[in-house]
Amino acid sequence: MKSLIKNRNAIFLWISRTVSKFGDSFESLALMYLVYDVTGSALAMSTVMIFSMIPNLLVSPFAGALVDRFNKKTILFISEIVRTITIFMIP
């Protein structure tokens, strides 16, 4: 554990994932609020949240092979950029 704390890359990864997870939670709450505010329907809100999980279900089986073939830092960076662009597309 002490060697992990001394590793700057591990600390940077932990901090960046913590910030990312906080952003994920905020994005989910904002999306739920937006859908409910526009439609007034809890059903629409839950439908949007279910459909937002579909990309994870489709990509997960192939993610291991992708990570093994390509640079892990590059994959993390690209996935965070794509997520950021997707979030900014929400009105």
- d(CA 18, CA 65) in angstroms, rounded, equals 25
% of the chain at pLDDT higher than 70: 96
pLDDT of residue 52: 84
Kindly tell me if the per-residue pLDDT of 75 is higher than 90: no
Q: What is the pLDDT of residues 28-40, one digit of tens each?
A: 888 889 899 999 9
Q: Are 49 and 32 in contact (CB under 8 A)?
A: yes
> Could you state, in order of their start, the residue ranges of all structural domains in the chain?
2-88
Q: What is the pTM of this model?
A: 0.62
pLDDT of residue 62: 84
Query: Which whole-number Å values give the CA distances from 51 to 3, 13, 27, 77, in the listed order?
Result: 41, 28, 15, 24
Kindly tell me if the per-residue pLDDT of 10 is higher than 90: no
